[in-house]
A and B are shown apart, each in its own frame.
Chain A
Amino acid sequence: MRRALVLSALVAVLPGALAAQGGLSVQGFGYPTGQLGTGSLALGGALAEVDPSSAINPAAVGLSSRFSIYMQLEPEFRRTTVNGASDKSTTIRFPGFLVTGGVRRFAASISATTFLDRTWRNVYSDSQLVGGTMVPSTLLASSNGAITDTRVAASYWINPKVQVGLGVHALVGENRTEFGRSFPDTTGIGSVTQFTTISYSGRAVSAGVVYFPVKSVSVGASLRQGGHLEARQDDAALAKANVPDRMGLSIAYTGIPNTTLAARYEHTSWSEMKGLGTAQMSVFDANDLGLGMEVVGPKVAGAPSFARLGVRSRTLPFGANGDQVSERAVSGGIAIPFARGRAQADLTLQRATRSGAGASEKAWFLSIGLGIRP
């Protein structure tokens, strides 16, 4: 079991795996996964600010003071349509790994979650003007890697109604890119290929609160203040910017027996990353709105199971052809305890639609989360 956990941990901190470019969601520095746990994803992200499995609000860490490990697997099946032509692609991500534990009023967490996944591969044929002659050519461009948000967070129960938390973030990662053009042998034209690695390092701090004003209402709010974010290309300084600031607010209502209704709003100042890209990169601040409902199901092995539904609407930070990309999603899922309540399996299915720059994209997410409380 211990070996399995170690392997899972290694897998979980890997950046997002392979995907395809030519997609709306992987523009710029990549796709923002949202750093949501599988359960929160099923509720459209609505419970994220009070979810200890989502590495967002450091105050929420204390909601799971018992030692626990949480990991996720999240394949995405995507179809991008441009001018009537469609491309299918499949991405498999391991977007999160968290370890949480606490003593008395204190709780702490260490997590590694995918901040921006920039993994894609793109091969297509076109023509290129070489020496005054148009010649057929094949272009290959790919990027593999991600920026990972590594967070150390601690929370403290001030009183039974208020819990506060503080997080320190290190944003690290790299994109290994390849760009090449090749020509048919018959042309005699040599091919060109460039391999380069862009590495990132940045820091941020976050603070949050979880507040229970009345018995049936819980409120979670958090802020992230971004510090410097630096990109280096093949070990040479490339660009500097800031980690985007973020603020989010979740409100959950549990006044209906066995039911939780939740809503969340998040705003991220992605434009603070503008200086990290070229002048051609378009970047927008983004809003994220989620609504969700969780219903307690029958007890399994002494612990409750859950059924979840959610909707989500957000904008993505990196534009396509200068246009901002919007994403709407409908999701549902279940959570089933096992091992006498010492573990829980979350399963979420999300249907997302994105649009922008005259293109559209539809995607199925299957998110599988496994929480263990030994």
Chain B
Amino acid sequence: MTWRLLRAPALLVFPLALLAGACTERLETADGCPLLCPGQTLEIRDTILDPAYVFDTTLAPFPITGAESPLLLVSRGDTLDVRPIFRFDTLARVFTPVGDTARPVTMVDSVTLTVRLIRTPLKVPQTFFVDAYDVTDTSLVDSLPSTLIPLFTAGRLLGSKQIDSATFLDTMTVQIPLDTAMVRAIVTSPNAPLRIGLRLRSTESGAFYVASNEDLTDAFRPRLRYRVSPDTVIAAANISPRSGSPVTPLHVAGDYNDYTLVADAPDIRRATTFAIGGLSAARTYMRFDLPRFLTDSTAVLRASLELVQDPVYGLDEADSVVIRPQMVLAGHAITDLNRAARLLAREGTFVTDSLRVAPGDSGIVSLEINGLFRAWRKDSGLPDIPSAIVLRSDNEGFSGFGARFFGMNAAPALRPRLKVSYVLNIKFGQP
């Protein structure tokens, strides 16, 4: 009887044990601190590195010539003039009628250049013209502005297309009729190339993107089209840009299928400063020589790269440009800094901060780069690379905006400084 009375409480021990074992543990408390939480202070030290780094230089152009996509077509009076160039170094000079043998092209008719225009943030002019010029020059330096710009003459005008803003929405495929006789003369001359430069003409400022030969949509890519026979059964020649030069180095000719020619743009570079953006777009390369204890023996909480901005006037100085720092991944073996400035860690890796400034701004701006200190540790797991970053613009190659800052050779009050807050040693664990 007694056992029966006590059996229930005895058996209760086991569910109680299970219940206790399954208790939800409450871990995080705060109210007892800091009175009951000794040893949890963090000694943060501050230091300023002045100058912040040991080397800076401004590099251009970015993107490299021929890598622009889309291309730019801009006319802004005497401030900015940008023209896309298309090379048709391989033309259709032979055709094969149906049921017949191949024969040379002797007739050229209905010649058009088709390009896709895309609007930019700039207002579309009321009326504007897209003029196409024959800018063929077989010299090896025909991509240089000084060589090409003189070729935009009335005598070399192949054709023109007038467009009204009322008919232009966000994008528009434009067929520019070209002078048949001029093109026929080229097509019928053995091995003669045809290189076409476009120019925007208007009484107002205008700017458009032009789909390049690298555009993902085939129908948007530039095309040269001409009929080779009066017989409409025979298909018209439909030719994509293709460059045959330069022959060396290898694989570079393809970059010149189409590219952007900056005919006129403000040069934002100046002595004792470095520049970012503009046209042709510039990047700034900075190399640091940080004290080893800062990268290897401390935890860096804050590393603010303070820059003093030098205003750039004359072109959209009130608009904003976003500048991002990116860590250079190129090793010590790469001594060509233009190339090193293209081998970068992905945007937002190691450094997430960016600057949004207007070209006409002045004063001190600050970039947080503490993540780089961890990447530049000896034991970070990354290969041995220089402690370098590149500052680049988000609108690189698409906009004439640029910003300028005083560099390490400027007066002491103006040159960049690096303000570092770090923890030398966390003394936690031993009560």
Whether the pair A192, B426 counts as a contact (CB closer than 8 A) is: yes
Whether the pair B23, A90 counts as a contact (CB closer than 8 A) is: yes
B363 to chain A, nearest CB (A): 18
Task: With CB as the reference atom, state the residue of chain B lying closest to A22.
Answer: B32
Q: B423 interface residue, CB < 8 Å from A?
A: yes
Whether the pair A22, B431 counts as a contact (CB closer than 8 A) is: no
Q: Per a CB cutoff under 8 Å, which of A91, A131, A277 touches B25?
A: A91
Whether the pair A300, B25 counts as a contact (CB closer than 8 A) is: no
Cα distance A177–B24 when bound, in Å? Answer: 21
Q: Per a CB cutoff under 8 Å, which of B34, B42, B374 touches A128?
A: B42
Given A92-B21, A233-B430: A368 touches B16 (CB 8 Å cut-off): yes
Whether the pair B25, A18 counts as a contact (CB closer than 8 A) is: yes
Chain B, interface size: which category?
35 or more
B5 to chain A, nearest CB (A): 8
| Residues of chain A with a CB closer than 8 A to B17's CB | 73, 368, 370
Residue of B44, B353, B419 most packed against chain A (CB within 10 A): B44
| Residues of chain A with a CB closer than 8 A to B299's CB | 190, 192
Whether the pair A131, B429 counts as a contact (CB closer than 8 A) is: no
Task: Classify the secondary structure of A's interface with B.
Answer: strand
Q: A238 interface residue, CB < 8 Å from B?
A: yes
Whether the pair A23, B301 counts as a contact (CB closer than 8 A) is: no
Given A90-B25, A131-B421, A300-B3: A320 touches B16 (CB 8 Å cut-off): no
Whether the pair B9, A336 counts as a contact (CB closer than 8 A) is: yes
A19 to chain B, nearest CB (A): 8
Q: B121 interface residue, CB < 8 Å from A?
A: no
| Residues of chain A with a CB closer than 8 A to B35's CB | 82-83, 320-321, 357-359
Q: B46 interface residue, CB < 8 Å from A?
A: yes
A26 to chain B, nearest CB (A): 9
Given A125-B30, A131-B419, A345-B13: A177 touches B428 (CB 8 Å cut-off): yes
Cα distance A77–B32 when bound, in Å? Answer: 16
Q: Per a CB cutoff under 8 Å, which of A194, A297, A299, A357 touches B36?
A: A357
| Residues of chain B with a CB closer than 8 A to A345's CB | 10, 13-14
Q: B216 interface residue, CB < 8 Å from A?
A: no
| Residues of chain A with a CB closer than 8 A to B6's CB | 297-298, 300, 305, 336
Cα distance A44–B72 when bound, in Å? Answer: 87
Cα distance A318–B13 when bound, in Å? Answer: 34
Query: CB within 8 Å of A: which of B117-162?
Result: none
Whether the pair B302, A124 counts as a contact (CB closer than 8 A) is: no
Q: A20 interface residue, CB < 8 Å from B?
A: yes
Q: A65 interface residue, CB < 8 Å from B?
A: no
Cα distance A118–B301 when bound, in Å? Answer: 29
| Residues of chain A with a CB closer than 8 A to B21's CB | 73, 75, 92
Whether the pair B431, A27 counts as a contact (CB closer than 8 A) is: yes
B182 to chain A, nearest CB (A): 59
Given A179-B426, A192-B301, A338-B10: A124 touches B30 (CB 8 Å cut-off): yes
Whether the pair A278, B29 counts as a contact (CB closer than 8 A) is: no
Whether the pair A278, B431 counts as a contact (CB closer than 8 A) is: yes
A125 to chain B, nearest CB (A): 7
Task: With CB as the reference atom, state the residue of chain B lying closest to A320.
Answer: B36
A86 to chain B, nearest CB (A): 6
Query: CB within 8 Å of B: which of A1-33?
Result: 17-24, 27-29
Whether the pair A141, B428 counts as a contact (CB closer than 8 A) is: yes
Q: A183 interface residue, CB < 8 Å from B?
A: yes
Whether the pair B430, A130 counts as a contact (CB closer than 8 A) is: no
Cα distance A321–B9 when bound, in Å? Answer: 44
Query: CB within 8 Å of A: which of B1-42?
Result: 2-3, 5-7, 9-10, 13-14, 16-17, 20-21, 23-40, 42
Q: B370 interface residue, CB < 8 Å from A?
A: yes
B364 to chain A, nearest CB (A): 14
Whether the pair B31, A85 counts as a contact (CB closer than 8 A) is: yes
Query: CB within 8 Å of B: which of A183-220?
Result: 183, 188-192, 194, 196, 198
Given A20-B26, A336-B13: A196 touches B36 (CB 8 Å cut-off): no
Whether the pair A20, B302 counts as a contact (CB closer than 8 A) is: no
Q: B368 interface residue, CB < 8 Å from A?
A: yes
Whether the pair B31, A92 counts as a contact (CB closer than 8 A) is: no
B115 to chain A, nearest CB (A): 44
Residue of B10, B33, B36, B46 most packed against chain A (CB within 10 A): B36
Whether the pair A27, B36 counts as a contact (CB closer than 8 A) is: yes
Task: With CB as the reference atom, state the residue of chain B lying closest to A125.
Answer: B30
Task: Provide the A325-353 mask, 1 if CB < 8 A to any CB of B, else 0.
Answer: 00000000010101000000101000000
Task: Provide the A107-132 mask, 1 if CB < 8 A to any CB of B, else 0.
Answer: 00000000000100111111011111
Q: B266 interface residue, CB < 8 Å from A?
A: no
Cα distance A188–B302 when bound, in Å? Answer: 7
Cα distance A233–B425 when bound, in Å? Answer: 14
Whether the pair A318, B40 counts as a contact (CB closer than 8 A) is: no
Task: Provide the B390-431 mask, 1 if CB < 8 A to any CB of A, else 0.
Answer: 000000000000000000000000000001010100111111
Residue of B2, B17, B423 most packed against chain A (CB within 10 A): B17
Whether the pair A80, B36 counts as a contact (CB closer than 8 A) is: yes
Q: Per a CB cutoff under 8 Å, which of A124, A128, A301, A318 touches B44?
A: A128
Query: CB within 8 Å of A: which of B363-378?
Result: 368, 370-371, 374
Q: B261 interface residue, CB < 8 Å from A?
A: no
| Residues of chain A with a CB closer than 8 A to B14's CB | 345
| Residues of chain B with a CB closer than 8 A to A338's CB | 10
Q: Per a CB cutoff under 8 Å, which of B40, B374, B430 touches A231?
A: B430
| Residues of chain A with a CB closer than 8 A to B362's CB | none
Cα distance A188–B37 when bound, in Å? Answer: 27
| Residues of chain B with a CB closer than 8 A to A141's CB | 37, 40, 428
Residues of B within 8 A of A (CB): 2-3, 5-7, 9-10, 13-14, 16-17, 20-21, 23-40, 42, 44, 46, 299-302, 304, 352-353, 368, 370-371, 374, 419, 421, 423, 426-431
Report 25 cross-chain contacts, Cβ distance below 8 Å, ordered by A residue.
Answer: A19-B27, A21-B37, A22-B36, A75-B21, A85-B31, A87-B31, A90-B23, A92-B21, A122-B28, A122-B40, A129-B44, A131-B302, A179-B429, A189-B368, A190-B371, A196-B428, A198-B429, A281-B431, A300-B3, A300-B6, A318-B431, A320-B36, A321-B36, A321-B38, A338-B10
Beyond A20-B27, A122-B28, A130-B301, list 8 extra A-B contacts (CB 8 Å): A22-B30, A73-B21, A131-B302, A179-B426, A189-B301, A233-B430, A281-B38, A368-B16
Residues of A within 8 A of B (CB): 17-24, 27-29, 73, 75, 77, 80, 82-83, 85-92, 118, 121-126, 128-132, 139, 141-143, 175, 177, 179, 181, 183, 188-192, 194, 196, 198, 231, 233, 238-239, 277-278, 280-281, 297-301, 305, 318, 320-321, 334, 336, 338, 345, 347, 357-359, 366, 368, 370
Cβ-closest 6 pairs across A and B: A22-B32, A124-B30, A188-B368, A179-B428, A85-B31, A345-B13
